[in-house]
Amino acid sequence: MPPLVLQERISARKSDFEPLLQMDDLLRELIAAGGPMPTEYALLNRTLRQLGDAVRAKVIARDDVMAYAHDITSRYLDGTMQSRALGKKHGYSGDFEIIEAIYTLQTAQEPHLRRWDLYFHSQAAPNAVRNRKAYFHQLLNSHSAGRPKAPLNVLNVASGPARDVREWVLDNPEREVFFDCVDAEIHAIEHAKKLCAPFAKRVEFYHRNVLRFIPAKGYELVWSAGLFDYLTDRTFVYLLKALMTVTKRGGEVVVGNFSDFNPSRDYMELLGDWVLHHRTRDHLRELALEAGAAADSIEIQWEPEEVNLFLHVRR
């Protein structure tokens, strides 16, 4: 049964709430069976899609779905990735701990919870997050290969756990690359500092809000993933403009943003309260133009899931 606060509304408009009741039936069935098996993922996704359609059509209020999601998650799925996203320990769903858990494929130890985490990690969005780490690595490869003699300076905006930095430097100890990492969350900075301790001389950390502070150096590569899709268009343009000014001639700014093609969107929004500004390629291009980028300096790329787009602006 959905939580008490909802039951009265549901009994008055039972047919409207049908997609939520179906979701509830399915989740309870799967919970009783010890979590979803891979063969059940398609049914779960379809049921989520129907619920998403009802919310988009305003037949069911998003707040009602959120009340439901919090209730069922806290009662049966405490400790799962889903409950961690909903819990917003550091203020929002995609905090550095969740991102780190996605990179390292963390799953609950308890078998009945573990299956839910395997379902979480199997989805397109977490895959896209892992793929964007590989995308950053490829960028670092190509930028540093183009400068065999000169050091490469990289600004990593909203660096989170900095696992991407750690992995690349450990794999490429001979490359002269220096990172400035900015993050507004002190726990993210502390965690990232530990991960990057073996090569601390190559990485500088700034515990700052990038909307108020950007290190005033020049960079060949400015990278930001997992930040711009939380920003409104206005703030997007403001920050992109600021990042373009610290990018050296010949360098580039690369900004990740979830695309409007995100098969995990209903799961993220309805069971994780993880809401992003999904943007199309054209929209990203328009925002770059608004920030003052020349039309021929803009390029849009993507990772294999096509969920994470990457706006490149060449300077």
- Helical packing angle, 41-56 and 111-122, nearest 10°: 70
Angle subtended at Cα 84 by Cα 256 and Cα 182, rounded to the nearest 5 degrees: 40
**CA–CA distance, 198 with 210 (Å, rounded to integer):** 26
> Quick check: 159 binds ligand SAM (CB under 6 A)?
yes
Among the listed residues 72, 86, 158, 284, the single contact to ligand SAM using CB under 6 A: 158
From 31-39, 76-84, 160-168, 294-302, span contacting ligand SAM (CB under 6 A): 160-168
Q: Which is nearer to ligand SAM, 52 or 94 (CB)?
A: 94
| Helix 233-245 and helix 281-290, axial crossing angle in degrees, nearest 10 | 60
Residue in 86, 108, 128, 225 binding ligand SAM, rule: CB under 6 A: 225
Helix (H, G, I), strand (E, B) or coil at 192: helix
Eight-class DSSP state of 297: G
Assess 118 for contact with ligand SAM (CB under 6 A).
Answer: no
71-100: which residues touch ligand SAM (CB under 6 A)? 94-96, 99
- Candidate ranges 14-22, 59-67, 81-89, 204-212; the one touching ligand SAM (CB under 6 A): 204-212
Closest-by-Cβ residue to ligand SAM is 160
Q: Does 273 bind ligand SAM (CB under 6 A)?
A: no
Contact 237, 291 (CB under 8 A): yes
- The answer to whether the beta carbons of residues 300 and 311 sit under 8 Å apart is yes
Residue among 155 and 184 whose Cβ is closer to ligand SAM:
184
- For residue 50, the one-letter residue type is Q
Binds ligand SAM by CB under 6 A, chosen from 24, 180, 185, 273: 185
Question: Looking at beta carbons only, is 117 or 185 nearer to ligand SAM?
Answer: 185
Q: How far is the CB of 238 from ligand SAM (least distance, A)?
A: 11
Q: Is 54 in the site for ligand SAM (CB under 6 A)?
A: no
Name which position in 118, 128, 139, 210 contacts ligand SAM (CB under 6 A). Answer: 210
When the beta carbons of 10 and 129 are compared against ligand SAM, the nearer one is 129
Minimum CB separation of residue 259 from ligand SAM in Å reads 16
**By C-alpha distance, which of 129, 198, 209, 130 is closest to 169?**
198
Q: How far are the Cα atoms of 287, 290, 291, 307 from residue 298, in angstroms, in the given order?
A: 10, 12, 11, 19
Q: Which residues contact 180 (CB under 8 A, 6 or more apart)?
A: 153, 154, 155, 156, 203, 204, 206, 215, 217, 219
Instruction: Give the span between the Cα atoms of 109 and 279, in whole angstroms.
Output: 36
* Nearest CB to ligand SAM, comparing residues 41 and 199: 199
Can you say whether residue 217 is alpha, beta or left, with left for phi > 0 and alpha for psi between -120 and 50 degrees? beta
**Nearer Cβ to ligand SAM (183/220):** 183
- Closer to ligand SAM by Cβ: residue 122 or 209: 209
How many degrees, rounded to 5, is the angle at CA 79 between CA 9 and CA 229? Answer: 75
Q: Of 115 and 121, which has the nearer Cβ to ligand SAM?
A: 121
Smallest gap, in angstroms, from Cβ of residue 179 to ligand SAM?
12
Q: Which residues bind ligand SAM (CB under 6 A)?
A: 94-96, 99, 158-161, 164, 182-185, 188, 209-211, 225-227
